Amino acid sequence: MKAQLIRKLQDKTAKIGVVGLGYVGLPLMVRYCEVGYKVIGFDIDARKVEALEAGRSYIEHIPASTIRTARERGFEATTDFSRASDVDALILCVPTPLNKYREPDLSFVINTTDSLVPHLRPGQIVSLESTTYPGTTDEELAPRIASRGFTLGEDVFLVFSPEREDPGNPDFTTRSIPKVCGGYTANCLETGMALYGQVIDRVVPVSSTRAAELTKLLENIHRAVNIGLVNEMKIVADKMDIDIHEVIRAAATKPFGCVPYFPGPGMGGHCIPLDPFYLTWKAREYGVHTRFIELAGEVNSSMPDYVVSKVGMALNLARKAIHGSRVLVLGIAYKKNVDDMRESPSVFLMEKLRDLGAEVAYSDPHIPVFPRMREHRFDLTSVPLNAQTIAAADCVLLATDHDKFDYAMIKAHAGLIVDSRGRYLEPAVNIVKA
């Protein structure tokens, strides 16, 4: 069974199923189509499926022409999970959020697996890419697959291979980012290497699914802790009337031992704000209190409040209150030059300002309409960024520093700018660093 599946994967006669067609699953689908595989995409969102079947894209950095090309190469999208039996590989790219208690919410992973298991057949490989705590693949997926009477590593193969997408990054693509892969058994790992080896330039094997799961958490915890450190340094530097961005640029000239991280209004994206808490939750099972990780989380979570306090201070100096002031938020994506709003700190800033009585508007060239979100609701559209809209605002809050913004024009017409990204290097009477 293993040899036959590996042969099909290597000669590209295997059919690939990608489950979850978002920021991770859609680029992966495109990559498999590019090298000649037939791909079926599964998603519970009928609107996404309808768009893809019509050759449209809903992710800015994946153009519609790319979707149309994939369709011409045989890609099809469906909400019918019974078609899982039609594919040789199932790659799960579904969300793994936190619940309101900051505990892992595996409902998407579990519900998806439960929807697929009745349709599994011998000779398939299942790969989980969703970021999660060590043990998820072994403890949640493996028993469900085995419940069908399959022997893992002989009938069906199971791996964990964490996604490493960086939306909008022109320097790294799905193909060029090395792929970590851990198998439930040695046979599973061998099959997983074949699954990814044709589409990724370098696949990095590790000893187990747990090692692969922890690898992804370490990557993002490393970033979260260092961002927490520099966010705390920003507050200290501000109290000392020192520009933290100047300090970071100077420190970065050291050719060894110093990797520059930059502060901001909080952390966004699906990974860095959430992943550390997957490990802290699981660590409690082993009697370990991850104080360092949790402290970084507290610092980063507090940054929107810090920025709002700077807005309040800046307006106060202008003899205005937040209540009743018109605040124009520049950029609501979680990072610059993308349309991805997952866990965006801009949204938390907007909510806090709204709760304090501000009249909030936003401008974002990548997000023309504030989308429907599970926990955040604004009935807003992006306002045009021109001299009139800028001058009409009591405060312009730079939350996400898109390259498309005309920063000189903003500076020339804004009465007050609160810069939470360090975009303005030179001090000015109308600019407050946050």
Residue 145 lies in a domain: yes
Q: What is the mean pLDDT of residues 233-260?
A: 94
Residue 219 lies in a domain: no
Number of domains the chain contains: 2
Average pLDDT, the chain: 95
pLDDT of 200 > 80? The answer is: yes
pLDDT for 270 equals 75
pLDDT of 375 > 80? The answer is: no
- Kindly state whether residues 70 and 201 are assigned to the same domain: yes
Provide the pLDDT confidence category of residue 266 given band limits of 50, 70 and 90: very high
Out of 187, 209, 231, a domain closes at 209
- Kindly state whether residues 338 and 189 are assigned to the same domain: no
CB atoms within 10 A of CB 62: 17
pLDDT of 379 > 80? The answer is: yes
Residue 72 lies in a domain: yes
Residue 247 lies in a domain: no
With H, G, I as helix, E, B as strand and everything else as coil, classify residue 52: helix
Task: Pick the closest to residue 90 from 49, 120, 48, 69 (CA basis).
Answer: 120
Residue 289 lies in a domain: no
Which of 118-122, 267-271, 348-352, 370-374 bottoms out in mean pLDDT, i.e. has the lowest?
A: 267-271
Contact 206/161 with Cβ under 8 angstroms?
no
Half-sphere exposure of 350 toward its Cβ, with a 13 Å CA cutoff?
A: 25
* pLDDT tens digit sequence for 13-44: 999 999 999 999 999 999 999 999 999 999 99
**Residues 187, 183: Cα–Cα separation, whole Å:** 8
**Residues 252, 258: Cα–Cα separation, whole Å:** 6
Residue 229 lies in a domain: no
**Which residue range(s) make up the domain with 409?**
263-269+302-433
pLDDT for 228 equals 95
Residue 130 lies in a domain: yes
Percent of the chain with pLDDT over 70: 100
Tokens of 92: 């799960």
Catalytic (active-site) positions: 271
* pLDDT tens digit sequence for 282-318: 999 999 999 999 999 999 999 999 999 999 999 999 9
Residue 66 lies in a domain: yes
- Kindly state whether residues 308 and 198 are assigned to the same domain: no
Q: Is the pTM value of this prediction over 0.85?
A: yes
> What is the domain-level CATH number for residue 306?
3.40.50.720
* pLDDT tens digit sequence for 89-113: 999 999 999 887 788 999 999 999 9
